[in-house]
């Protein structure tokens, strides 16, 4: 009884002292630690046993046969880059064979270990590579519904990034339990769990466990246990907010000081982020895979209920949807409708087993993921209008979880849409409209200003504003380590702006700051080192590139930079060891990426230094075939052809 009284007093105190960020649950706005699913199962074994068999419980795991739903029979081929891919199991470990053929001869091959499988297998298995803690998506996905091996979404149509697609917090925080993530990184992880766990829906559990272990028990048949969130006791609105964290995907704009770690059950999603989706005319039937709540909210049923429909009215998150009976879904419908109100012919109703879902929530393809069909959660009477051949006109980005987004949010939604999804000028034009009235004295607004001008290649605008504010003042403004890396990213963009205008000295101040704030963001370190070369600080640049490859041995461009530096050393000192080192690093770079233009150019320089004209010509002709716009190659070939 004393415990319950304490909770009531504490909640009252919070309500009096904090007009916002209020929740009766003590693990929402307080610093409570996560304990992990193995702690939860000690008291909730029955729930654990069913949960680990559903889609969330099987969302992420190590790449072992027992966690795979894939059946690899045929390779896939990228006709643009010329790479073939075939995954194979060797002693219960998964490898991806990447190779190139010329006249049926293998001219390149690379075998890469696959470390993780992401996806429950209900629709897909995608795959992740761990390079010393740095995670990347592998260029193959198995689509289980059609039993098809193909490229992942976004890798098709000449966009195959091979092993360069970084897996960051945004991806990991919906496909898995919270990881241990390196602060100041983009994609480096210290510890990775195996699947979505209890605390993603119930919030951090340390307080709850401590109370149980100390004998502070709550009779939940009479009282709420406020030490941990039970979603069934949340308002329907907050239940849906919880589900929408991962079941309404789109263009997520974080509040400036927030990260993807910050949302907890019992919060409104817009306390942490706003989620945007592009809207078009004639797109009634178009939807992305993870848009369940957005589609449900468009339903007449949801609107008529005044928002009184919840995801968990149909779905029990502790069991697989495959184990949910038709009766359970129908009973939800019958809570508002009765079976006599259905006007469908009895023959058709009998054929579907009187299943409301089969008619009113059709299985449909998604516009973002190939070879996948899911239940469209827009409940409707299906019409006969065919929208496929109708022209679609862009209406704008809609914030689907916040009716009153700030200008900062709207601006960054359009900038992120341009940067990450579709580089159309209309997105920049829209961003400019909202940006033009923003006060640049405010940090997050200046962040947006830099982002906009960086994407617009208006580097002088950035530099002019930085110099107007004063370099030291800007460095002081953006000086915080964050999981979202916004301060570091702003310094990087400002540094790049000075670099592009050949002001390498001032660029250095901002590159220094970016790598101080994000010491494991390897792209920042690479650019910092390139700028050091411009300042003739070659030995420090070498150390930076060496740090990169020590951190991530698959970072092929760093090997190329080292090769280039050692070629220059050889040209100055004529020390054979420098040329050997150059060749060594360039070979590694090309073994990792045989189509890498700069490494091929540098390797051809080594061949020329060795007076190996034929090998140089062969390499240059390969560059010409892959990168025909490279005029420098033609000039070199003409010079070599004059050599007798």
- Residue partners of 299: CB distance under 8 A and separation at least 6: 309, 377, 378, 379, 380
The pLDDT of residue 248 is 94
Query: Mapping DSSP to helix (H, G, I), strand (E, B) and coil, where does residue 594 land?
Result: coil
Cα–Cα distance measured from residue 276 to residue 625, given in angstroms and rounded to the nearest whole number: 41
- What contacts 81, CB < 8 A, 6 or more positions away? 158, 160, 162, 595
Task: Count the residues in the chain.
Answer: 644
Q: Give, as one character, the DSSP assignment of residue 151.
A: P
Q: In this structure, are residues 195 and 61 in contact, taking their beta carbons and an 8 Å threshold? A: yes
Structural domain containing residue 462:
438-641
For residues 402 and 413, what is the distance between their CA atoms, to the nearest angstrom? 13
CB within 8 Å of 469: residues ≥ 6 apart: 446, 477
**Cβ–Cβ < 8 Å for 100, 106:** yes
**CA 318, 320, 324, 329 torsion-angle sign:** positive
Query: Which segments of the chain have a pLDDT < 70?
Result: 1-21, 384-385, 644
- Cβ burial of 66 (10 Å; 0-12, 13-18, 19+) is exposed
Domain annotation covers residue 218: no
Q: Is residue 560 part of a domain?
A: yes
Last residue of a domain, one of 396, 426, 453: 396
With beta carbons less than 8 A apart as the criterion, state whether 616 and 608 touch: yes
Residues 619 and 516 in one domain: yes
Structure tokens of 471? Answer: 């370099």
3-state DSSP: the chain helix, strand, coil percent, rounded to 5? 45, 15, 40
Together in a domain, 562 and 619: yes
Contacts within 8 Å (CB) and 24+ apart, 222-229 = 223/4, 224/24, 226/7, 226/11, 226/24, 226/25, 226/26, 227/25, 227/26, 227/27, 228/25, 228/27, 228/202, 228/203, 229/25, 229/27, 229/28, 229/201, 229/202, 229/203, 229/264, 229/265, 229/266
CA–CA separation, 286 and 280 (whole Å): 9
CA distance 448 to 431: 9
CA–CA separation, 497 and 510 (whole Å):
10
Query: Domain for residue 594, yes or no?
Result: yes
pLDDT of residue 644: 56
Q: Does one domain contain both 253 and 150? A: no
Are residues 265 and 336 both part of a single domain?
Answer: yes
Q: Residues 75-100: pLDDT tens digits?
A: 999 999 999 999 999 999 999 999 99
Please, are residues 443 and 449 in contact by the beta-carbon 8 Å criterion?
no
* Shared-domain flag, residues 446 and 577: yes
Burial class (CB in 10 A: 0-12, 13-18, 19+), 210: middle
Task: Write the burial class of residue 169 (CB in 10 Å: 0-12 exposed, 13-18 middle, 19+ buried).
Answer: buried
CA distances to 41, 58, 467, 573 from 61, rounded to whole Å, are 18, 7, 49, 52
pLDDT digits (tens, 9 = 90+) for 292-304: 999 999 999 999 9
CATH for 587: 1.25.40.10
Give the span between the Cα atoms of 612 and 609, in whole angstroms: 8
| 77 and 166 housed in the same domain | yes
Q: Which of 173, 195, 224 is the last residue of a domain?
A: 173
237 within some domain: no
Tokens (6 digits) for 487: 């301060």
Alpha carbon distance 269, 289 (integer Å): 19
State whether residue 11 is helix, strand or coil: helix
Domain assignment of residue 9, yes or no:
no
Domain end (from 148, 173, 198): 173
Its pTM stands at: 0.93
pLDDT at position 20 is 53
CB half-sphere exposure, 463, CA atoms < 13 A? 17
On whether both 258 and 319 belong to a single domain, the answer is: yes
381 and 459 in one domain? no
**Sequence-ordered alpha helix ranges (H) in 235-307:** 236-247, 292-297, 300-304
What angle, 0 to 180 degrees and rounded to 10, lies between the N-to-C axes of helices 504-517 and 486-500?
Answer: 160
Do 384 and 253 lie in a common domain?
yes
Token pair, residue 505, equals: 């000295």
**Co-location of 596 and 458 in the same domain:** yes
Q: What's the structural domain count of the chain?
A: 3
Quick one: 365 and 474 in the same domain?
Answer: no
Together in a domain, 352 and 458 = no
Compute the distance between CA of residue 636 and CA of residue 616 in angstroms, rounded to an integer: 9
In a domain, 635, yes or no: yes
The C-alpha atoms of residue 515 and residue 541 are separated, in whole angstroms, by 13
> Which among 504, 443, 453 is positioned nearest to 477, based on CA atoms?
443
Q: Return the structure tokens found at 567.
A: 């070629």
Tell me, what's the pLDDT at 17? 36
Backbone φ and ψ of 106, nearest 5°:
-80, 115
Instruction: Look at residue 564 and tell me if it is in a domain.
Output: yes
Q: Could you report the per-residue pLDDT of 220-264, keeping only the tens digit for each?
A: 999 999 999 999 999 999 999 999 999 999 999 999 999 999 999
Whole-number CA gyration radius for the chain: 28
Domain annotation covers residue 223: no
């Amino acid at each position: 009884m004393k415990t319950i009284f304490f909770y009531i007093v504490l909640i009252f105190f919070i309500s009096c002292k904090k007009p916002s960020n209020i929740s009766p649950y003590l693990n929402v706005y307080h610093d409570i630690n996560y304990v992990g699913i193995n702690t939860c199962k000690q008291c909730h074994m029955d729930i654990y046993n069913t949960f680990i068999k559903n889609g969330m419980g099987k969302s992420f795991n190590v790449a072992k046969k027992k966690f795979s739903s894939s059946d690899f029979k045929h390779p896939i081929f990228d006709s643009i880059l010329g790479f073939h891919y075939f995954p194979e199991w060797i002693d219960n470990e998964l490898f991806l064979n990447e190779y190139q053929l010329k006249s049926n001869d293998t001219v390149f091959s690379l075998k890469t270990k696959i470390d993780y499988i992401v996806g429950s297998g209900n629709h897909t298995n995608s795959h992740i590579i761990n390079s010393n803690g740095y995670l990347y998506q592998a260029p193959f996905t198995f689509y289980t519904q059609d039993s098809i091996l193909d490229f992942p979404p976004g890798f098709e149509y000449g966009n195959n990034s091979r092993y360069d697609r970084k897996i960051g917090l945004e991806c990991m925080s919906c496909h898995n339990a919270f990881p241990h993530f390196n602060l100041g990184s983009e994609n480096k992880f210290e510890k990775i769990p195996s699947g979505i766990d209890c605390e993603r829906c119930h919030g951090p559990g340390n307080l709850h466990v401590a109370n149980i272990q100390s004998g502070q028990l709550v009779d939940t048949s009479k009282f709420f246990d406020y030490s941990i969130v039970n979603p069934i006791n949340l308002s329907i609105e907050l239940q849906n907010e919880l589900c929408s964290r991962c079941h309404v995907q789109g263009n997520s704009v974080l509040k400036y000081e927030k990260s993807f770690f910050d949302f907890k059950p019992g919060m409104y999603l817009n306390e942490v982020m706003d989620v945007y989706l592009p809207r078009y005319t004639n797109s009634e039937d178009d939807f992305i895979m993870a848009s369940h709540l957005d589609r449900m909210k468009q339903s007449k049923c949801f609107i008529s209920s005044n928002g009184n429909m919840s995801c968990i009215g149909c779905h029990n998150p502790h069991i697989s949807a495959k184990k949910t009976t038709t009766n359970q879904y129908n009973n939800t419908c019958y809570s508002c409708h009765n079976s006599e109100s259905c006007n469908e012919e009895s023959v058709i109703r009998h054929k579907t087993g009187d299943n409301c879902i089969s008619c009113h929530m059709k299985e449909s393809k998604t516009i973002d993921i190939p070879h996948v069909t899911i239940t469209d959660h827009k409940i409707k009477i299906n019409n006969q209008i065919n929208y496929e051949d109708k022209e679609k006109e862009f209406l704008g980005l809609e914030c689907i979880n916040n009716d009153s987004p700030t200008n900062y949010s709207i601006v960054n939604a359009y900038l992120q849409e341009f940067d990450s999804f579709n580089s159309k000028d209309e997105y920049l034009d829209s961003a400019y409209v909202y940006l033009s009235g923003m006060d640049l004295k405010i940090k997050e607004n200046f962040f947006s200003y830099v982002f906009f001008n960086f994407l617009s290649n208006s580097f002088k605008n950035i530099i002019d504003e930085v110099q107007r504010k004063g370099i030291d003042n800007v460095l002081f403004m953006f000086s915080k380590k964050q999981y979202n890396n916004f301060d570091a990213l702003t310094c990087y963009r400002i540094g790049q702006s000075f670099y592009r205008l050949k002001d390498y000295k001032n660029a250095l101040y901002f590159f220094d700051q970016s790598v101080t704030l994000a010491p494991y963001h390897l792209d920042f370190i690479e650019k910092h080192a390139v700028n050091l070369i411009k300042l003739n600080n070659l030995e420090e640049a070498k150390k930076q590139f060496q740090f990169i490859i020590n951190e991530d041995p698959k970072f092929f461009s760093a090997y190329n930079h080292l090769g280039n530096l050692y070629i220059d050393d050889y040209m100055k000192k004529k020390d054979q060891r420098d040329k050997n080192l150059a060749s060594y690093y360039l070979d590694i770079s090309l073994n990792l990426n045989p189509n890498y233009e700069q490494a091929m150019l540098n390797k051809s320089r080594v061949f020329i230094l060795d007076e190996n004209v034929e090998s140089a010509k062969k390499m240059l002709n390969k560059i010409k075939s892959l990168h025909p716009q490279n005029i420098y190659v033609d000039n070199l070939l003409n010079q070599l052809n004059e050599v007798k």
